[in-house]
Chain A
């Protein structure tokens, strides 16, 4: 019955519908530009959602079609030493248009569709990949107790600069104090952080 969860779902549906409607010209334009560059516009990646349930997360494709083949080589150049998360600066597999999409987080826009169909929420911890979750301790799994979100607290405070234990700590803090008002506050702060944030590589 959880009326708290019910209210969030309503906010998610209304927000994602509004976002998809308002952004539809932009979405169509970006999709067209990627296709002109060659290849499909939308890319589905398996991510882990609430209670460990895997789902297809949609993004605009920002990497070369053969990007996954280069993955093994690049694992060696992992910046975060803890072995769990993986991002590196100046990823050579990114396409020209992909670079700009990522700079302004436009590649994440299709996730509003994931929110609409209930895989994700507007606000929540970022969804990890299965490879990462396989190494989680029971305490790490606390991040999976809510639906993942398009935006979250560590996105507005410092994004990928934070190491894994820091991300878990921030996520758990968020989950423990999660409220509709708090979410609306985070949503209000997000666009600025996305455009100007330093750690968005």
Chain B
């Protein structure tokens, strides 16, 4: 059974999300938007998924491969523009052939997550965040491993390390290999993507923290999307490039022991004397060095 999946082109209401590449590949609860769709379509009986990518076809291809992950055949085709539903129908399935999934699953525009048409992803940053919080209970798909609902509304990755002195408030999601220090407060309405660190005394409420992101000690990410050093307030649409790494920064930049040590000194210089050594040990471990 065949189906057509149309990726979104860039959306003017959420310009900063393209920092992750084409919108179809934005990381959401540790997996990309398009991957949730393909798993959903495979469960509906699709054996062949044709993907139309008006933006970043190469990256979309890298994200889905050949579909072996779901046991379906996936092919990604680049397109100049994002086709409308009827255009796509005309171009790809004019005869409404029998080999296709029945409508409305024959042609899908990925403007929302599977089964959640009332939660548009790209109307605004606020709608993006609302759609994510809405998706939280569904992110743990049947083929998902390494995340458990530890308490109602609190999902924690099995390789995450959350200090017993940290406070988690439902609904919240702690991703794979995330480190949450003592005194941190995560939730309500908090999503921490894979490998990020929430330092001591930091707070994330009604906020999304992207992957590989350092949320510095005593900071507050509220009503905002934070990734690397970018901070977008989803209520006001204001976007800030945070100048100081010890406040908010990308962990992928800390690739060497020297960079980690410099970072540690910056933390100390800015008065952070809390569980400082644990944090630095954690950073060093990620770089692949023994604790200094």
Binding site for B on A (CB under 8 A): 1-4, 6-7, 48, 51-54, 133-134, 136-139, 141-142, 144-145, 172, 175-177
Chain B at the A interface: mostly helix, strand, loop or mixed?
Answer: loop
**Contact of A6 with B143 at beta-carbon distance under 8 Å, contacts A54-B68, A138-B39 already known:** no
The verdict on B42 contacting chain A, using a C-beta distance below 8 Å, is: yes
Assess the A141–B70 pair: CB atoms within 8 A: yes
Assess the B143–A139 pair: CB atoms within 8 A: yes
Q: Which residues of B contact A4 (CB under 8 A)?
A: 159, 177
Assess the B159–A136 pair: CB atoms within 8 A: no
**Contact of A51 with B39 at beta-carbon distance under 8 Å, contacts A137-B142, A176-B158 already known:** no
**Contact of A176 with B145 at beta-carbon distance under 8 Å, contacts A2-B177, A144-B69 already known:** yes
The verdict on B286 contacting chain A, using a C-beta distance below 8 Å, is: yes
The verdict on B52 contacting chain A, using a C-beta distance below 8 Å, is: no
Q: Give the A-B contact count at a CB cut-off of 8 A.
A: 62
The verdict on B43 contacting chain A, using a C-beta distance below 8 Å, is: yes
Assess the B286–A3 pair: CB atoms within 8 A: yes
Interface residues of B in 266-286 (CB under 8 A from A): 285-286
**Contact of A53 with B288 at beta-carbon distance under 8 Å, contacts A175-B146, A176-B145 already known:** no
Assess the A142–B288 pair: CB atoms within 8 A: no
Bound together, the chains give a CA A52 to CA B73 distance in angstroms of 11
Assess the A172–B145 pair: CB atoms within 8 A: yes
Q: Which residues of A contact B212 (CB under 8 A)?
A: 1
Bound together, the chains give a CA A136 to CA B43 distance in angstroms of 11
Chain A residue at minimum C-beta to C-beta distance from B67? A52
Q: B143-165, CB under 8 A of A: which get 1 and which 0? A: 11110100000000011000000
Q: Which residues of B contact A172 (CB under 8 A)?
A: 145
Bound together, the chains give a CA A172 to CA B43 distance in angstroms of 20
The 8 closest A-B pairs by CB, nearest first: A52-B68, A138-B142, A51-B69, A141-B143, A138-B143, A139-B142, A52-B69, A145-B145
B19 CB, min distance to chain A CBs, angstroms: 17
Assess the A53–B145 pair: CB atoms within 8 A: no
Interface residues of B in 220-274 (CB under 8 A from A): 251-252
Bound together, the chains give a CA A2 to CA B175 distance in angstroms of 12
Of B43, B71, B158, chain A has the most CB atoms within 10 Å of the CB of B71
Bound together, the chains give a CA A136 to CA B70 distance in angstroms of 10
B122 CB, min distance to chain A CBs, angstroms: 27
Bound together, the chains give a CA A137 to CA B12 distance in angstroms of 39
The verdict on B2 contacting chain A, using a C-beta distance below 8 Å, is: no
Bound together, the chains give a CA A145 to CA B159 distance in angstroms of 14
B178 CB, min distance to chain A CBs, angstroms: 12
B165 CB, min distance to chain A CBs, angstroms: 23
Of B42, B68, B195, B287, chain A has the most CB atoms within 10 Å of the CB of B68
The verdict on B91 contacting chain A, using a C-beta distance below 8 Å, is: no
Chain A residue at minimum C-beta to C-beta distance from B251? A1
B39 CB, min distance to chain A CBs, angstroms: 7
**Contact of A1 with B252 at beta-carbon distance under 8 Å, contacts A52-B70, A141-B71 already known:** yes
Q: Which residues of B contact A176 (CB under 8 A)?
A: 145-146, 148, 158
Assess the B286–A1 pair: CB atoms within 8 A: yes
Chain A residue at minimum C-beta to C-beta distance from B255? A1
| Set A53, A144, A177: member contacting B158, Cβ < 8 A | A177
Chain A residue at minimum C-beta to C-beta distance from B72? A52
The verdict on B65 contacting chain A, using a C-beta distance below 8 Å, is: yes
B1 CB, min distance to chain A CBs, angstroms: 15
Q: Which residues of B contact A142 (CB under 8 A)?
A: 142-145
Assess the B71–A133 pair: CB atoms within 8 A: yes
Assess the A136–B71 pair: CB atoms within 8 A: yes
Give 30 pairs: A residue, B residue, CB < 8 Å, sorted on A.
A1-B212, A1-B286, A2-B176, A2-B177, A2-B195, A3-B285, A3-B286, A3-B288, A4-B177, A6-B288, A51-B65, A51-B68, A52-B69, A52-B70, A52-B71, A134-B71, A136-B71, A138-B42, A138-B70, A141-B69, A141-B70, A141-B71, A141-B143, A142-B143, A144-B69, A145-B145, A175-B145, A176-B146, A176-B148, A176-B158
Bound together, the chains give a CA A139 to CA B212 distance in angstroms of 28
A151 CB, min distance to chain B CBs, angstroms: 20
A176 CB, min distance to chain B CBs, angstroms: 5
Interface residues of B in 2-53 (CB under 8 A from A): 39, 42-43
